[in-house]
């Protein structure tokens, strides 16, 4: 089931199109990667979904019904530009934000204490926001985003400002939130995070969706039928349907070859031919990374 979908979302500023006929489908209980280069329109789309701004045309559906202003309470949004009141103390700030999301004072305090204990930051309760490091402030804003247990969580560059240890902490929390039933839209430039976290993605470039679907299906679509083989002994004279793209000598009489299969041949045919010539130690299909796909698709659009 889809938790969120957009149909024909467009937004312009004068003659500049920020978004043009954007259609995306965000499956329920999934992590959805919203990708694209700077200026592609990702943040504009997020601001329309969160009703900070409104589209010129198109509709947004949440739980298969047109989204209304009341649905904002079902969303938790962590913007790329952080916004905490620096003179407020951490505890009172989180209570204030939780009350804005409809929690009672009692429930707010209970949930805040739970999350602050989980993040090992309960001692920060009485500290002023301005006395915290950037990474510490990030933790507080992350807590404020998920306190009210939103159905849809939108995270815009959530790892910005975190050291590797705290980035892993937040990553684990994101995965746990999905396992507990949350749906997460995750906007980032970090392709390694997309590889680790995302189930589905949409790639936006120059105001349009140029790629959308499950990460697994997209990788299968863009694979090049290329295999990495480590083998003992060298070989020559493969069938013309097999192109040797690269061959490296790793050590004496031990090689790594990259071979592409052409003209409808299958891996078994390549393997059958190779085992007559060499001793094979490994035979692995080369699957493109999301980073490779991202760069290739963006460059392809730029060169049109």
Q: Are residues 134 and 157 in the same domain?
A: yes
Angle value at C-alpha 256, between 250 and 257, nearest 5 degrees: 145
Same-domain check for residues 104 and 194? yes
299, part of any domain: no
Do 151 and 272 reside in the same domain of the chain?
no
Cα distances (angstroms) measured from residue 202 to each of 107, 124, 159? 36, 38, 19
- The answer to whether the beta carbons of residues 163 and 195 sit under 8 Å apart is no
CATH number of the domain that residue 80 is part of: 3.40.50.300
Report the C-alpha gap between 203 and 211 in whole angstroms.
5
The answer to whether 75 and 152 have CB atoms below 8 angstroms apart is yes
Reading the block at residue 184, the tokens are 């997460």
In a domain, residue 297? The reply is no
Q: With respect to residue 265, please indicate whether it lies within any of the assigned structural domains.
A: yes
**pTM value?**
0.87
For the cut 70, the answer to whether the pLDDT of residue 155 exceeds it is yes
Condensed to tens digits (0 to 9), the pLDDT of residues 34-89 reads: 998 888 899 999 999 999 999 999 999 999 999 999 999 999 999 887 778 999 99
The answer to whether position 211 is within a domain reads yes
Question: Is the same domain home to 241 and 182?
Answer: no
Q: How many domains does the chain have?
A: 2
Q: Is residue 158 part of a domain?
A: yes
Quote the domain boundaries for residue 148. 2-220
Q: 228 with 187, same domain?
A: no
Last residue of a domain, one of 204, 220, 236: 220
Query: What gap in Å lies between CA 137 and CA 143, rounded to an integer?
Result: 10
Both 16 and 39 in one domain: the answer is yes
* Domain end residue (candidates: 192, 220, 248): 220
Task: Indicate the residue among 182, 198, 220 that finishes a domain.
Answer: 220
What pLDDT digit, counting tens, does each position of 187-244 carry?
Answer: 987 788 888 999 999 999 989 999 999 999 999 999 999 999 999 999 988 989 999 9
Residues 123 and 259 in one domain: no
The reply to whether 111 falls in a domain is yes
């Amino acid at each position: 089931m889809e938790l969120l979908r957009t149909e024909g979302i467009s937004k312009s500023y004068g003659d500049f199109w920020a978004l043009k006929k954007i259609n995306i489908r965000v499956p329920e209980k999934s992590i959805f990667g919203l990708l694209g280069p700077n200026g592609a329109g990702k943040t504009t789309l997020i601001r329309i979904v969160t009703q900070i701004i409104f589209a010129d045309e198109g509709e947004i559906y949440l739980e298969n019904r047109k989204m209304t202003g009341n649905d904002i309470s079902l969303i938790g949004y962590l913007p790329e530009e952080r916004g905490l009141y620096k003179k407020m103390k951490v505890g009172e700030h989180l209570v204030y934000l939780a009350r804005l999301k409809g929690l009672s004072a009692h429930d707010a305090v209970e949930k805040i204490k739970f999350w602050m204990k989980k993040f090992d930051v309960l001692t920060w309760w009485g500290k002023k926001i301005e006395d915290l490091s950037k990474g510490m402030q990030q933790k507080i804003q992350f807590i404020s985003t998920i306190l009210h247990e939103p159905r849809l969580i939108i995270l815009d560059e959530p790892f910005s400002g975190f050291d590797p240890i705290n980035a892993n902490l937040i990553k684990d929390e994101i995965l746990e939130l999905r396992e507990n039933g949350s749906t997460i839209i995750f906007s980032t430039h970090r392709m390694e995070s997309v590889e680790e976290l995302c189930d589905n993605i949409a790639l936006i470039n120059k105001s349009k969706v140029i790629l959308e679907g499950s990460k697994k299906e997209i990788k299968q679509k863009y694979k090049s039928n290329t295999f990495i083989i480590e083998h003992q002994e060298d070989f020559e004279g493969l069938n013309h349907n097999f192109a040797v793209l690269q061959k490296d000598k790793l050590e004496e009489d031990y090689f790594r070859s990259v071979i592409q299969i052409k003209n409808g041949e299958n891996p078994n045919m390549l393997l059958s031919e190779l085992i007559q010539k060499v001793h094979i130690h490994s035979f692995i299909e080369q699957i493109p990374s999301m980073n490779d796909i991202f760069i290739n698709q963006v460059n392809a659009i730029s060169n049109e």
